Amino acid sequence: MRKNIIEVEGLVKKYGSGETELVVLKGLDLVVREGEFVIITGRSGSGKSTLLYQMGLLDYPNEGKIHISGENVIKMDPDDRTLFRLNRLGYVFQDYALIPDLTAVENIALPLMMQGKSHATAVIKATEVLERVGLGDKVYNLPSQLSGGQQQRVSIGRAIGHAPEILFADEPTANLDSETAHEVLENFMKLHKEGQTIVMVTHEREYLKIADRVILLEDGVVKSSGKHSSQKSDD
Amino acid sequence: MIKTFHQIRRLLTSIRVGVFLAVRQIRRGNIWANALIVAIMTLTFLNLIVVSGILVGLIEGAVQAINRHYLGDIFISTLKEKYYIEKTPGLVSYIRSLPGVEDYTVRYIEGGIIEKDYKTSRKSTEKSDEISTLMSGIDPEREAQVSGLRDKVIKGSYLEENDFDQVIIGALLLKDYLPIDSPNFPVFENVSIGSKLRITINGNVREVTVKGITYTKVDEVDRRVFFPEKQFRGIIGRYDYNADEIVLRLSPETDAVSVRDTILAAGFGEFAKIQTREDAEPKFIKDMKETFNLLGTIIGSIGLIVASITIFIIIFINAIMRRKFIGILKGVGIHSRAIEFAYVLQSLFYAFLGSLFGVLIVFGFLEPYFQENPINFPFSDGILVATPEGAAWRVAVLFIFTFVAGYIPAKIVVRQNTLDAILGR
């Protein structure tokens, strides 16, 4: 039995206050196991991205607990959260979120340098990562010189360059055409095969089959959780 | 101990990453935006140096003129209780023997009356057109060497050693150059080159011709009438060569204070008042220097505040425009200190380039230009006072203010919620 890498308990996230208060997550419970490929899906406004941000330590919930590898990450101060994200988490954003002044290799090398690696070591490692995601010939291209799919692959490279425990991906194919989207998904599948824990948010049904488990959110709580085929009826 | 070591290591890493980010942001940023920021910083630096420099330069120009055309490096004058400098020949030969004395000039001075239109018949109730002023007998060549009087003849020509009954008149005795009507500053109208004037000194009357008009912007010079000393000593009956003023020009490396003290130590203080130019500078000039320095400092300080606000706005706009990327950097684990350092470093880089261009413009162009082409103010030839020490001080202050003005906006933006920054909300 694989151990739990993420444990979420009674998670509540609200936006606004008073009459304008909107409760997005309503006491949500969730577990992700090590090496698992989990896809979180649901309708727009169901809270799937909000959940990802809380688990990825990009935002603070109002109530509840989140444990990652047994550590209570809610109680961490901002600096420790930043350090935790740097060393143990990886992110792939919907709009790639690359730094425009940095080349492909520099975008990947930057977090490695922040980890304390020398510039040369970080660049060598980042170049290897770029080769892994099929961009060995685009090392010195700026984001503006890359296509959407290539930028997303650089984003994946940045997310996995430091070998994170968990890779979070927020709608990574939303801005891509279907062919490029498939190429990007292949990268995720390859990483999963290598043992990477992946938590991905998507609303595109055709990708659900690649996950070990699909979690369906509805109105801020988990409506179902299981293999894609087992919860088809819920959709 | 281990915690401290980790903190230091993390700080060094943040600095390294900050440098990495700053260099790339500058190198790959929009060249025109960078050029504009540097241009603003250069103008800010020039504002700090030039505005106060011109203000101080107004007085400095006046001080330089007094030193150049009147006081020299050492100014020897008559004691209050004496009519002239006794034992002048002995003093002059002693001065000539002193090392470091490059040149000297001896002036004979006597009060007198100059009168124009003295041939016009007047009624007994009418006043004659006359001015009481100081007359000065000079060795034209020596005076030209020491005080540059020859170069300040703006009309007509300079005196020759053997000129007779010919004078140079100071411009501030003529209405053309001092267009005011005050009993304290009487002036002649319609006196120019070739005009005849009647001069009365100690009861001796001479009719002289105006050979030249001199304008140094030093009142003590520009309200005098100059004769060649040969004739002047005859007019005032000073056959013993005892003079009223002696001006020394020293070599640049010679210390005026030690020369003064040497002359005093030789006992000449008994016969003359011996001063360095700083000692002899009129008190109002010293007061004005202090006042204008204060004004310069106040204006400079305002310039500095304006500069800080400018830098703050530039960095803040830069940081706000890059808010999303700051959020992403934080999101992928870049420490906020590294991001703040990158922005501070960028602002320091702009300050460095701005100061560098500013220094080059000030010392490579403006300062020499204003030395050659002073601004023509009524009471002085205004120059730009900019010393390397003053510039270094301003650069240092600008850097400190830039550091603060760069740090605060970066801190404000970096402190914002990471997710809000990434999502642009």
ipTM for the predicted complex comes to 0.89
Residue type, B317: I
Give me the pLDDT at residue A229, please. Answer: 66
Q: How far apart, in whole angstroms, are the C-alpha atoms of residue A90 and residue A84?
A: 10
Domain span holding position A219: 4-234
Is B245:B76 a contact under the CB 8 Å cutoff? yes
Interface test with B, best of A54, A58, A95, A140 (most B CBs within 10 A): A58
Alpha-helical runs (H) found in chain A: 48-55, 78-88, 104-114, 119-132, 148-160, 178-193
What are B189-234's pLDDT values in tens digits?
A: 889 999 999 999 988 999 999 999 999 999 899 999 999 999 999 9
Nearest residue on chain B to A82, alpha-carbon basis: B333
| A144 CA: distance to closest CA in chain B (Å) | 12
Q: What is the mean pLDDT of chain B?
A: 89
Query: A142 CA to chain B: closest CA distance, Å?
Result: 10
Of A79, A98, A106, the CB nearest to B24: A106
Q: Which residue in B has a C-alpha nearest to residue A144's C-alpha?
A: B28
Residues A53, B334: C-beta atoms closer than 8 Å: no
pLDDT of res. B146: 95
Instruction: Please report the number of interchain residue pairs, chain A to chain B, with beta-carbon separation below 8 angstroms.
Output: 78
Q: Does B24 touch chain A (CB under 8 A)?
A: yes
What CATH number should be reported for the domain holding residue A152?
3.40.50.300
DSSP assignment, residue B333?
T
Mean pLDDT of A162-190: 89
pTM of the predicted structure, to 2 decimals:
0.72
DSSP A162-228: T--SEEEEESTTTTS-HHHHHHHHHHHHHHHHTT-EEEEE---GGGGGGSSEEEEEETTEEEEEE-G
Per-residue pLDDT tens digits for B355-376: 999 999 999 999 999 888 888 8
Q: Are strands B196-201 and B101-116 parallel, antiparallel or unpaired?
A: antiparallel
Is there a contact between B336 and A82 if contact means CB atoms under 8 Å apart? yes
The total domain count for chain A is: 1
Q: Who among B20, B29, B335 is closest to A82 (CB)?
A: B335
Select from B249, B66, B277 the least CA-distant residue to B152: B66
Nearest to A101 among B29, B417, B419 (CB): B29
Within 13 Å, how many C-alpha atoms sit on residue B395's CB side? 19
Asked if residue A233 has pLDDT above 50, the reply is: no
